[in-house]
A and B are shown apart, each in its own frame.
Chain A
Amino acid sequence: MMMRMVWQRVGIGLATLWVVSVIVFIATSILPGDVAEIVLGQSATPETLAALRAQLGLDQPGYVRYFGWLGDMVTGDLGTSKAGGATIASLIGGRLGNTMMMAGFVALVSIPISIALGLWAAMHPGTWLDRIITFGTLSTISVPEFFIATIAVLILAVELQWLPSTAYMTGDENFGELMLALAMPLITLVIVVSAQMIRMTRAGILNVMSSPYIEMAILKGVPRRRIILRHAFYNAIGPIVNVIALNLAYLVSGVVIVETIFAYPGLAKLMIDGVQTRDLPLVQACAMIFCATYVVLILMADIGSILSNPRLRNPK
């Protein structure tokens, strides 16, 4: 029963990826202008355009190009950049590493902090600290991330001059130097993603707190700390895990603004550059990586909530 549900989710995930690949391919195909026009620019004549298109394989019908591209993707060949001629794998490689590193550090810092703060707020509802947490998280959710980033730069880099305002990396710094270089985007992202996770943890726990089995626990004389940690938390895992997964996916794909502000060489910035140069294979590859991240993380969250549900874990 449970394994079947897990495999079902995996199947749905794969199907989603396939649908996404079709959409990404079609969307990039209907963009006006193609690589041939961009490369040749002003000097384009109909003859040179046709010749370059034939050379790049752009004259073949759409479905042939789609299946060729899909086949290459599945076998790990991301193709070559049509703008510079370098392989896309080499272009993406370093950037993906940077993005993953940033996402990893942010996750390591924000998930424990969020769950702890969310639980704390749920344990002491109505106290002044709970109100500060509720109000603070609501404010950060309502404010765009570039604003938070700008404020952080203004205070920490310009006024106090504690941290560098750009995330400049040479590639041979030690861990401490690396942390210092990453500190500004890291702080910004932690603030942005924690807010939602804290609120969801708090709301999830408080929602469970109105169940009859929590009243029963109170009437059994169970201390409030144990009620929250043992009785409520296990029943609130499902929604919490989902919010964590969505925020992690956001870290990989949606941080382009933060990457731009701090000049951090991540994947999202690469994709924007690809769009500007009409480098379709690069855009397609980036889009597929982002979508795959979403699908995998949400799949993990789904499996997590299935595993945390005793009804599914222990069938009758």
Chain B
Amino acid sequence: MEKEKLFEIKDLRISANDDDGNEVKIVKGVSFDIHKGEVVALIGESGSGKTTISLATLAYTKPGLYFSGGECCLFGKDVLSMNPLGQRDLRGGNVAYLAQSAAATFNPAITINEQVTEAAVLHGRLTQEQANERATELYHALELPDADRIGYRYPHQVSGGQLQRLMAAMALCGKPDLMVLDEPTTALDVTTQIEVLKAFKKVIREQNSAAIYVTHDLAVVAQVADHIVVLYGGEIMEQGSADQIINRPTHAYTKRLMDAVRPKPTAGMGISSVGEEHHRDVDNLQVKDMTAGYGGIVNGEPKIPILKDINVSVKNGHVVGVIGESGCGKSTLARVMAGMLPPARGDIILDGKKLEGDLRDRKLEELQKVQFVFQMADTALNPKQLIGNIIGRPLEFYHGLTGKEKHAKVSEILQLVELPPEFANRYPMELSGGQKQRINMARSLAANPEVMLCDEVTSALDSIVGANVIKLLTSLRDKTGVSFVFISHDLSTVASFADEIVVLYAGRVVEQGPTDEVLEPPFHPYTRLLISSVPEMRIGWLEDTMQKREMAVGIARGVEITARGCPFYNRCPLAIEGTCDLKTAPVRELKDGHEIHCHRSIEELQETERETQMILHGYEKLGEDDPQVHVP
């Protein structure tokens, strides 16, 4: 059956003007159709024009851009040439927009319900009472907790994943013909991402509405899209059905995108090639029995505890990946190491020497040896300073370099991060996101540190740019022998280059060890959940995954920091009542310093792993590995 055509984008052109008033083409003649009940994915790296194109269905451009040609027809009527009143009715009426960051797109001063129902009521689609009723229905459908009352709260009173679903409710409230989803899951933890993807799929199916899904993540696209449009530099490289693009891509660029997809984290992915000259068997940085938190310290315990009894060590020239969902204390750990948050108890040891907890009490050379790289290069770099000054500061401060010497060293460091020396005379604003992140790292490198603490440095970058930054980190380690603590919520990135992995949950280490060991069974149940949540580039993966046992218990629950027992208790499929909720988990030691903190024995964990494989792959595959297993 031929589906009804909803939107027809014909030869769409969007431009901007540069400083001299010359036209710069951003979108160069793009055409595609959207049918009812269909999800069209726009994929491409940043700068490909995917968001710009999606906004054209709302007859909207970001400030500075303008439509320079083509049509965008809703039911055969061009929305670009409508009068402002008609366009206002289109926005939030026929077409609803969902932005990347729900936290930023909800108005902090207005209750959730008013924002969710606003568009539907303004456009006269529903009365306020009908809209309230519909909103509550949607909250139930989207499986939001406390659905009857969540609307009376303010945005800051709900979690990030809940806000993302509330934004879906906002888009759906007026029953739009088309939803524009702009990277709606990119900023989320993998576990939350699954939850949100599931909710989107469900409502799109039930409403028979259509959607444009904008993303750079092919694995996510594979779960939701019917039709895929591949974009590069404002032009369509290839378009076709999801099955064709994912399984049989023809264009070279699509294939390149596929290669940049981070593979499912498995053992053996890591690259452990520490240059011999730098290799020493000494721990570079060590954290011992450390407890830390916020709000002051009372009787040796922080008022708001975050981290508890942490033991982590970073070997010379090694990369230690720290993973866990948001709220697990990853950044807090880095802040404690850097001395920005003095711990309540425990020691931080650098090269065998105890460091002061407060960075103000540390000596200059101790400060120089531990450097921090912040997540957002945009906010970490002073926009009014030349790159040369930004990198020159630490050279002057730690090493007393001035004049020509400093200048030469700045060029050297710029080359080290694979940027031309001329960049010294530019301002951060003139650089792309990936280049800014390089400068951000170059500034830390300028101190000539022994340990670099990288807090989610690739999270704000798209996959291709992110992969390049990782490559750079690896080469830096090989060239300079510096060790890294690499914090990320993205397991695949960590798995691709860390030597050791530390899995944090609710402020406690639940598993740590060499990358290959951590990513091989037996797993801690939390590690298992994280690994299962990473999307695979396979159509139907989402449905399969939701069948799994750990998903049923573990998904859709926030991280809670508990005082007693194992913090993972309420999300764990293997939890033992009366033990896990009361007693701290024992440390089970395996080979090569691999440790799992769990009440279940290693044998029990291994057994579960076999069962999971069975559910996942049925018998055939399992039968090959292990002929004795019989499944009823």
Chain A 281-316 interface residues, beta-carbon cutoff 8 Å to B: 308, 310-311, 314, 316
Q: Encode A198-229 as 1/0 by CB contact (under 8 A) with B.
A: 00000000000001110111111111001000
Contact with A along B63-107 (1 / 0, CB 8 A): 000000000000000000000000111111100110101001111
Known: A212-B105, A231-B110, A314-B154. A218 touches B60 (CB 8 A): yes
Do B90 and A221 touch across chains, with their CB atoms under 8 A apart? yes
Asked whether B108 lies within 8 Å of A235 as measured between CB atoms, the reply is yes
Chain B residues in 8 Å Cβ range of A222: 92, 118-119, 122
Contact yes or no, A211 B104, CB < 8 A = yes
Chain B residues in 8 Å Cβ range of A212 = 99, 101, 104-105
Interface residues of B (CB under 8 A from A): 55, 58, 60, 87-93, 96-97, 99, 101, 104-110, 118-119, 122-123, 153-154, 156-157, 170
Report the minimum CB–CB distance from A79 to chain B (whole Å).
45
Instruction: Enumerate chain A residues within 8 angstroms of B108, measured Cβ to Cβ.
Output: 213, 235, 310-311
A-B pairs with lowest CB-CB distance, top 9: A220-B92, A221-B91, A221-B92, A234-B109, A220-B119, A212-B104, A216-B105, A219-B97, A213-B107
Contacts of B154 in A (CB 8 A): 310-311, 314
Q: Does A230 contact B (CB under 8 A)?
A: yes
Given known contacts A212-B104, A234-B109, is B156 in contact with A218 (CB within 8 Å)? Answer: no
User: Can you list 21 A-B pairs with a CB-CB distance of less than 8 A?
Assistant: A211-B104, A212-B99, A213-B104, A213-B105, A217-B118, A218-B91, A219-B97, A220-B91, A220-B118, A220-B119, A221-B87, A221-B88, A221-B91, A222-B119, A223-B122, A234-B107, A234-B110, A235-B108, A308-B109, A310-B109, A316-B156
Bound-state Cα–Cα, A218 to B122, Å: 12
Question: In the assembly, what is the distance between CA of A216 and CA of B171, in Å?
Answer: 11
Residues on B with C-beta less than 8 A from A234 are 107, 109-110
- Are A314 and B118 in contact, with the CB atoms below 8 A? no
Q: Are B110 and A230 in contact (CB under 8 A)?
A: yes
- Chain B residue numbers with a CB within 8 Å of A213 are 104-108
* Cβ-neighbour of B97 out of A211, A216, A235 (below 8 A): A216
Residues of A within 8 Å of B60, CB to CB, are: 218-219
- The total of chain A residues at the interface (CB under 8 A) is 22
* A223→B109 contact, CB < 8 A: no
CB distance from B606 to the nearest CB of A (A): 40
Q: How far is the CA of A219 from the CA of B93 in the complex (A)?
A: 10
Measured between alpha carbons, how far is A217 from B115 in the docked complex, in Å?
Answer: 9
CA distance A311 to B153 in the complex (A): 11
B304 to chain A, nearest CB (A): 12
Instruction: Say whether A223 contacts B88, CB under 8 Å.
Output: yes
Chain B CB within 10 A, most for which of A215, A216, A308: A216
Residues of A within 8 A of B93 (CB): 221
List residues of chain A with CB within 8 A of the CB of B89.
221
Which residues of A have CB within 8 Å of B104?
A: 211-213
| A42 CA / B101 CA spacing, docked (Å) | 79
Query: For residue A235, which residues in chain B have a CB less than 8 angstroms away from its CB?
Result: 107-109
Further pairs besides A212-B104, A216-B107, A217-B107: 6, Cβ < 8 Å: A211-B104, A213-B107, A222-B122, A310-B108, A311-B156, A316-B157
- B90 CB contacts on chain A under 8 angstroms: 221
Specify which chain A residues have a CB less than 8 angstroms from the CB of B170 in the assembled complex: 220
